[in-house]
Amino acid sequence: MEVLVLEIEDPGCFWVTMKGCGPYIVDEIEYKNLNAEMNQFYDKSYKDVDAVKPLTVKEGQIYVVFSEELKCWCRAVIKSIMYCTDHYQTECFLVDYAKYIFVRSKDIRVALEAFMQIPYRAKKCRLYRTKPVTLHIDFCEDTAKIVPAKRWDSAATRYFQNLLKATTQMKAKLCAVEDNTFDVFLYVTLKDEKVCVNDDLVSKNFARFEEAEETTGNSADYQENKTSLNIESLPVKIVNPAFAFRPVVFQQKVPTDLETDPAVSSSFLEETYQRPSTGLNENTASIVKAIPGLPFKENTAVHTDRLQQFLNSDPLKTHIIENDQQSVQSLSEERNFVFLSHKIEPSSILETAPLFDDLKKELNRKKFLGPNFTESYCWPPVARGCDVVAISYEGNNPFLYIPPVLTFLQSGSCYKALPSRNGPLALILCPGWKKAQLVFELLKTYERCSRQLHPMLIILGQNKEENRSVKIQGCEVIVTTPYSLLRLFEHHNLLFCRLCHLVLDEIEVLFSDATEQVFTILDCYKNAVITEEWEYSPHQIIAVGTCWNKHIAHLIKEFMNDPYIVITAMEEASIYGNVQQVVRPCTNGERTAVLLKILDFTHNNLQKVLVFTNSVNEAEMVHKALRSNSIFSLKIHKESEFNFKYILEQWTTKYSTGTRVVLVLTDDCMQSLGITDATCVVHFSLPSPRIFGQRLHSMSDNFCNVTEDSSVDQEYTKARSVILLTENSACHALEILRYLQHAEAEIPPELHDFTAKILEAEEDKKFSRPLCAYLKTFGICKNRTVCPDRHQINLQIDVPQNIPDKVTRTPACVTILPLHIVNATNYFGRIVDKQKDQYTLLAEEMNEYFKISSNKTSVKNVEKLAFYGLCEKTLFHRVQVVEISPKEEENLFFNVKIKYIDEGRTSQVQSYQLLHLPARFQGLPPQAVEFVVCRVKPIDNEIEWNPKVTHYIHHKIKGKLHEAKIVCTLGNTAWVDPMVRVTRLSDLKMSINEYNVRSEILSTGLGTDNPEHITELQKLCGHVKVLDHAKNLEPLGIKEDTAGPENVSNPQNMSIQENSTENCNSSKITLGNNPCGRVAQTKEAEDSTLPQRKCFYPEIKWFQNEETVTVKVKIASVADSKCEFSKEKVVFSACSGDKLYLADMELHQYILAEKSTCVIKDKEAIIILMKEKKGAWCKLLKSKNPRVSFDFEHWEDVEDKGPFPVGTKKLYYTDAVTEELVDSSEDSGTESDE
């Protein structure tokens, strides 16, 4: 028959209209008459538009739409819907013209059946048995050959288009119909020469002929899907061709695509419906009972597009996805599961994915292996501009949304109606700076193949001036965090005026760490959409994550428009579906009795119960027990005599209301049965978490839609999961507990106790691991259960290393030299002895030794953990080999991993670079110490420092001497607070504090106070687990944050130092500084027979200005206080409970006693001393006292007020601090602040 081409995509997809006579051909006059009738009807109905406007519009359905280009009403199939604030736009395919157009919702009308009586004018065709090829180049073998391809390349498509344009006549021979597509041999006439296009493409090496056995009529699968269209084989009775290529709503009486052979159509479908593999809701059982809902790879033996539309009419059901070669009876192969709120046709291969061509090419070039299972379901709705919620094990993968969002952003015409202002079109919110950086890098990578979007990564701190200076002009995509976005919004209030796409990455983390901020952003977005002109613009929210969160339901209800919900983690789908989780603790022998009690109830509705067991013996035992108690029970396992068909027939039989059906089975039968309508699942034995989720999937038809009614109580939900918890459940109990906590289910105390022991055992397994880095840096570890490192003290490992003995034995105010900066608060370096630094002497000797060329002897046999020398530029270092690759050892020269034992850093060097190190240079222990600056952490609940802060601190402190007070030492780590850069001005005999490192971090705006840091460290040391009771606690050295530079904490806080004791001058009272009185009493007090009462020296902090000294005496609930002033002395006494506190302070300089005062507060006494002479005091007391210290908090508060950087400020009274930090470390009896 003669044809006329309407539209060409490639040789495998083009549209034609047919001319002449035949069973599938309608005269053009009929189409003109149809067009005139539709125009007349829909133009006249403008007065009663509501009567012909559809209430809802669904994808894949047929409607009548108005085409602005053609100026007429046309029949069209809805391909995609883009929702806006008060309307929606649809992409339509005009079935009579083969055109894609965009239509507003007001221009869509219901298609009357009277206008559907003739077939579509545009017939979709492809070349019969003609498949694409491509040139494959093997660079390894230096060969090139033509191989089969999955899609047509551009050269073949261009040649095909030019061939059809040049023809004077075109005819087609119909061979078969498959999935609404004609398979044809196409003949064209070129310069009076007739050419078969199929053969021509093959001869030009643009295509190949499909193998004969793939298309032969002997194949049953092929015959089931393809109908012969040879005129001779047509039956006598031909069905009305108007039913061909029509939507399912008009074909309820004709279930096949084109019913030309009753033997193929009705009998085939009847046989198919009775197959025992079910994936459907019971609601569709009257039509179809045994076909998987949606194939991941198209199963051509069963499915057609129209059949899929009909089977997926239920808006909320789970589809079982299986490979096309999977046998229904196979018990070993796994299938993927997906829970969908709407039908989605997955894009399982990149060639058919809804991405623009250049992006596909770029992905292919980078050897992208996707789309994976979840991506195949997420990409189509995202690319159409729909709201999407995706929960998956891969939910933290940005590729779930980046490719389709980039594709949508290519259509610039969608954004023409937006205000012409500066502002992004897309906003991606990430839970932290690190994830935001990853997403930004991916956008920059794949933006190269798209139009210029100018993406920006915006991470802002608390520096308002810096935030105000951010420019977003020309930027169309912003990647940021919730906190940073709100700081930016303070200075850019038009940020949301053009925003169309809002992406929430790792939604469960965002809602966990920044709930208030995320909802504030959503409110701003919602208000902007309402107030701005959005009639022609898209409005899309995408939320992806790994776990369901209770706030997602509110997100869907309040901010999304009929979103596509895609959940491929079945245990998360059960939380979405409000499945009731019940735990029944029992012994292993009591399980059967507990199961019988669970089943001993009556219910108004039909109850279908699945009892899952882990073995055949268990299944047989449970089945026998149920039978003996008169409970109707079925069983199935791999050794069962019953086949799956029989079990499914029994399971799907219609039972009366109140009936209870029980099926006992093993996990390996679950997928082949494909049951989804169970009302209760009993876990007779606990499985792995993945299998647990698949078990819950068996109830998916009874999942509730929590987004419609979140007030539904779990007690009344349709689906119920019962877990029998026994003493044999240890291997999976921890995962089950986490899941129950996540599901907010009631957890019995037995499970808590059981898992507590497991967690303790897990921590014991980590006892030889290093101490957790987060615990050291911030005082807490947020992910303790999954963290691989230790979270308790190990006395054998945590013995102080590389730290001088005098530092661990006495309070430590030391000079440190940071050499390797790990991050903003963690450094490696050395403790420098100002009197005689042994390492400085050693380094000088090493340099002198290695200056002699004959001493530079390369090592021939490198040994692990051995010490060697290494030359870097002009300096020589001591290094230790920590790792040698086994593969590398075979080479003459190979790489080794080394550690600089005096600096703490690691590196890779060539083996020949290592020098023999004489024994005399190995005697000095490694000098590298790890330093941690206390009481500061990243802002915004981050767990890692922003590189900007680390870079700034690295530049600021590396290689410079600093004075620091060590407050705690464990192993090779020393915690310091404060850490100060001090410059001495020898001419003026004074010192200047250039900066405090903690204050410098705070001044960047990317750090915040962490007041609990030292307290958490003290708690850690207070719960030492002593494995060998013969060991004492001496290796630990920890000092209170509030103590002075010579002070250490009391024994409660794991101090190894005994507190010093003093005699009060006024009476024979033994002093102590801990409530238990565990101090050494003086000999005089021991021998005294007089009544004694122990008194305590209170903790004292002081600071000063030019005229006064402020002394804070820390005592809780002060009572009976007394303060006596004299010119050179202050005596303060008070009671607190049954304790007496006394502080007899002999001052360093004179005061005006009559002008000095004492004020009592609840937890402290504040003493104001008026100086006799104005000026700075270098110390408070004439003699040192461990309970008296300078108030660094007050000093830092002054610094913190300064702008960034703070280092430029110079404080008047810093000499006192300098004396305390520096001179006390030199053990000088006259240079102390106390």
Q: Identify the residue whose tokens are 């012409």.
A: 420
Q: Please report which confidence band the pLDDT of residue 404 belongs to, taking 50, 70 and 90 as the band edges.
A: very high
pLDDT at 1177: 86
- Give per-residue pLDDT as tens, 895-949: 889 999 999 999 999 888 899 999 999 988 899 999 999 999 999 989 999 999 9
Q: Is beta strand 207-209 parallel, antiparallel or unpaired with respect to 193-196?
A: unpaired
Give phi and psi for 656, each to the nearest 5: -75, 160
Give phi and psi for 1038, each to the nearest 5: -140, 135
Give yes or no for residue 1121 having a pLDDT over 90: no
For residue 1041 the two structure tokens come to 């944050």
Please state whether the peptide bond connecting residue 1205 to the residue before it is cis, i.e. omega within 30 degrees of 0. yes
Q: Are 771 and 798 in contact (CB under 8 A)?
A: yes
Query: How would you list the strands of the sheet with 477-480, edge to edge?
Result: 317-321, 336-340, 564-567, 388-391, 540-545, 501-505, 426-429, 477-480, 456-458
- Give per-residue pLDDT as tens, 772-805: 999 999 999 988 888 889 888 888 788 777 677 6
From the number of C-beta atoms within 10 Å of its C-beta (0-12, 13-18, 19+), residue 297 rates as: middle
Query: Cβ–Cβ contacts within 10 Å for residue 302, how many?
Result: 20
Q: In whole angstroms, give the CA distance from residue 133 to residue 316.
A: 41
Give yes or no for residue 218 having a pLDDT over 70: no
Q: Under 8 Å CB-to-CB from 740, ≥6 apart: which residues?
A: 581, 583, 747, 751
Q: Is beta strand 193-196 parallel, antiparallel or unpaired with respect to 123-127?
A: unpaired
Give yes or no for residue 331 having a pLDDT over 50: no
Among 228, 197, 175, CA closest to 11 = 197
Give phi and psi for 94, each to the nearest 5: -75, 110
Please state whether the peptide bond connecting residue 419 to the residue before it is cis, i.e. omega within 30 degrees of 0. no
Taken in order 428, 434, 437, 442, the sign of the CA dihedral is negative
Give yes or no for residue 877 having a pLDDT over 90: yes
pLDDT at 953: 95
3-state secondary structure of 397: coil
String of DSSP letters for 309-325: HHHT-SSSEEEEE--TT
Give phi and psi for 642, each to the nearest 5: -85, 145
3-state secondary structure of 867: strand
Q: In whole angstroms, give the CA distance from residue 802 to residue 816.
A: 13
For residue 936 the two structure tokens come to 């500061």
Least confident of 181-190, 312-321, 534-543, 1085-1094: 312-321
What ranges make up the beta strands (E) of 50-178? Answer: 62-67, 72-83, 88-94, 99-104, 108-110, 123-127, 130-138, 143-148, 169-178
Give yes or no for residue 246 having a pLDDT over 80: no
Q: What percent of the chain has pLDDT over 70?
A: 76
Give phi and psi for 5, each to the nearest 5: -75, 130
DSSP annotation of 1147 reads B
Helix residue spans in 259-356 (DSSP H): 262-273, 305-311
Q: In whole angstroms, give the CA distance from residue 1230 to residue 1234.
A: 10
Average pLDDT over residues 801-817: 71
pLDDT at 777: 92
Give yes or no for residue 1079 having a pLDDT over 60: no
Give phi and psi for 658, each to the nearest 5: 90, -5
Give yes or no for residue 1032 having a pLDDT over 70: no
- Give per-residue pLDDT as tens, 369-382: 879 999 999 999 99
Phi-psi region of 904 (alpha: psi -120 to 50; beta: other; left: phi over 0): left
Q: Are 1126 and 1145 in contact (CB under 8 A)?
A: no
CA angle, 962 then 968 then 969, to 5°? 90
Amino acid letter, 995: Y
pLDDT at 878: 94
Q: Please report which confidence band the pLDDT of residue 688 belongs to, taking 50, 70 and 90 as the band edges.
A: confident
pLDDT at 62: 92
Least confident of 82-91, 278-287, 671-680, 933-942: 278-287
pLDDT at 140: 65
Least confident of 266-280, 536-550, 618-632, 665-679: 266-280
CA angle, 842 then 845 then 846, to 5°? 85
* 985 vs 437, higher pLDDT: 437
- Give per-residue pLDDT as tens, 614-630: 889 999 999 999 988 88
Give yes or no for residue 521 having a pLDDT over 70: yes
pLDDT at 1130: 92
Least confident of 263-272, 348-357, 728-737: 263-272
Amino acid letter, 465: E
Half-sphere exposure (Cβ direction) of 270: Cα atoms closer than 13 Å: 6
Q: Please report which confidence band the pLDDT of residue 740 belongs to, taking 50, 70 and 90 as the band edges.
A: confident
Q: What percent of the chain has pLDDT over 90?
A: 27
pLDDT at 433: 93
Average pLDDT over residues 1215-1231: 41
Q: In whole angstroms, give the CA distance from residue 715 to residue 580.
A: 7
DSSP annotation of 1110 reads E
Q: Are 1211 and 980 in contact (CB under 8 A)?
A: no
Give the orientation angle of helix 482-489 with respect to helix 515-531, to 10 degrees: 50
DSSP annotation of 2 reads B
Please state whether the peptide bond connecting residue 241 to the residue before it is cis, i.e. omega within 30 degrees of 0. no
3-state secondary structure of 696: helix
From the number of C-beta atoms within 10 Å of its C-beta (0-12, 13-18, 19+), residue 625 rates as: middle
